[in-house]
Amino acid sequence: MSSPSVLHVDLDAFFVAMELLRRPELVGTPVVVGGDGPRGVVSTASYEARAFGVHSALPTAQARRRCPQATYLPTDFSYYAPASERFHAILRDFTPVCEAAGTDEAYLDVSGSGRLFGDGEAIAEMIRGRVRDEIGITASVGLATNKLIAKVASDAAKPDGVCVVGAGEEAAFLAPRPVRELPMVGAKLEERLAELGLRTIGEVADYPAAALRERFGTTGE
């Protein structure tokens, strides 16, 4: 079996982390970054705010009801952009095989980087160290044999950690995790799967594929 060489690197609560660099007095408190007004939505919430049920894409009005004590800040993309560019430049120092997945996350294939930098876990730690030293914030990394597992693993590693899923360990790693942790599974699909008694990824994996196709079409596939 091949050793894991696909990384998903994700900056932890990126917009909030950047705001805390210039507002250190807010460290350890609930902070929400996003739009305001009747149509405003949350872009990023600190982990302290998430404890109150505040999360990205939540309408800001709802966030204020759930966590009125939080500090609410507008997004400042011009301030975040240089840090995002530096982040992606750091990743390219380790491999040219990079796929950006947004301002604050990317996939890397480091299968050809071992001679220079060591194995995937060593590279993950080097990347995290450079992000901390050069940008001043933290990153979490998932290391696996493919992009999907690496993405779920980076979420499992948050905040500020590394999660390694070795070859052959993928099914066991995924099985107990809630279906919502699969990329592209939103709240509505989560509810529809729950109607079938499917709440974990393992339960979905064990369910007849034909029945999922019949009920959900291409999404079921």
Residues designated catalytic: 105
Query: Helix H segments across the chain?
Result: 14-22, 47-50, 60-66, 77-92, 114-117, 120-134, 147-157, 170-174, 187-195, 201-206, 209-216
> What Å distances lie between residue 25 and 14, 20, 31, CA to CA?
17, 8, 11
Region class of 57: left (phi > 0), else alpha (psi between -120 and 50), else beta: left
Those residues whose C-beta lies under 8 Å from the C-beta of residue 201, and which sit 6 or more positions away, are: 174, 175, 176, 177, 178, 179, 181, 182
- Chain CA centroid to CA 154, Å: 6
